[in-house]
A and B are shown apart, each in its own frame.
Chain A
């Protein structure tokens, strides 16, 4: 099993396109950091105009913690794409290259193969999120410094003291791993259906974009289905920046994501075990 995992990780990390994800994550982060350096005040004035009418806030508002929050919020759609690039390729890529049939001639069960491929995608996701934490949080702190963090919700203005922020980011990144693992498992399921990796990657992105729009639309009709969409729960990391932290809601979101992940993996194993491998 460990040997198999090593081989799968080797396959992932020997491909140059794997590193494109890390470059893209860094590039998006740099662009947002640059925007905050050059035009952060205008953004803050716009976002806080309701507050600024009545209150005067002094101090380093655009600090590293605040900028990281903006970066993470902006990456809601982008990071799933980067995860799908690898997970969507895991089975379909092998089929496309004609190595899947050969792989299955080895004395390993199909279930085990799916599980190991999922595990390797999970490890890739963890590394990607750690990279994101380094370039967004660490670099933002270096550029903008530390300070009390402002969290702007639609009807609430929250200030978190600077010595109370770091653990929230650790928890938020851990939650992001969980959310992205759900995306990886869905991309793997779609990958099992296809014989080339473009289809699963685009389908994953399509599903994420459509469901994310549904999750954010304020239309009563969609309010009934929102709690069941995984995209509604993917932003559970934001709960750690609330006051008080809604642990119950975050726990429920985590459970929903775990259920989706388990369901996707189970479906992948079920389908892949019955699939007629012709390539």
Chain B
């Protein structure tokens, strides 16, 4: 098993520039993302949603493929978008059979990236359509844009550094649609609403929120137990 991992990591770690067709590229990318079955990571999370004032949260993030995720904050609170809009790349790449469309190339952050449009064949899938911006040289997805059935559009920026062989990012920024939040004043009994009024104009226009996760250290494929996520 270790030899197999070694071969796979060697292949992906030293991958030459990919020049195959879009279908092949997508399935290669998906296989690479799915190589990581679980991980534990020390993370810092910053939530930037207009109606939320949350300090930077530090903790340990547990992930188990395909969609189990938990942030342990040693007695503190953790916030995640609802399950369907998970924070993992694996969740934003449709599984099962898909239609892959080659959308050509585009420049992003000074890099030439290949754009793939993915449409799941399963019409029950939460993902309606996903666009991937792919760095073919390193076989990495640097940007995704997914239209979901229940959670609007989720956009994700990924920055890679120390864990390129595993296709695990050092930093992920998720841009998501946010709905308005309102609590009756009779229940909240606000004291000072100067800050809220000052931000209200911004809030009315702002319908996007961002969640930024910085991964400090990964421990990969240790066989995390399902009970950890209960």
Contacts and interface: CB of A to CB of B under 8 A. Distances in A.
Given A61-B77, A218-B185, A249 B82 contact: no
A154 B184 CA distance: 6
Interface stretch (B20-28, B47-55, B105-113): B47-55
B77 A157 contact: no
A39 interface: no
A238 B189 contact: yes
Nearest to B151: A54
Interface string A38-61: 000000000100110111111111
A150 B182 contact: no
Interface string B60-103: 00000000001101011111111100000000000000000000
A152 B194 CA distance: 16
Interface string B187-229: 1111111111000100100000000000000000000000000
Interface residues of A, number: 44
A155 B55 contact: no
Interface residues on chain B, size class: 35 or more
A146 B75 contact: yes
A162 B76 contact: yes
A56 B85 CA distance: 11
Contacts of A58: 70-71, 77-80
B82 A216 contact: no
B178 interface: yes
B161 interface: no
Contact of A236 (B191, B194, B200): B191
Contact of A159 (B53, B182, B187, B193): B53
B5 interface: no
B195 A242 contact: yes
Contacts of B188: 152-154
A76 interface: yes
Nearest to B185: A154
Contacts of A200: none
Contacts of A53: 82, 179
Interface in B142-200: 178-196, 200
22 contacts: A47-B183, A51-B181, A53-B179, A55-B82, A57-B79, A58-B70, A58-B77, A59-B73, A76-B189, A147-B76, A152-B187, A154-B193, A155-B183, A156-B52, A156-B196, A157-B53, A159-B55, A159-B77, A160-B55, A164-B55, A238-B189, A242-B195
Interface of B: 51-55, 70-71, 73, 75-83, 178-196, 200, 203
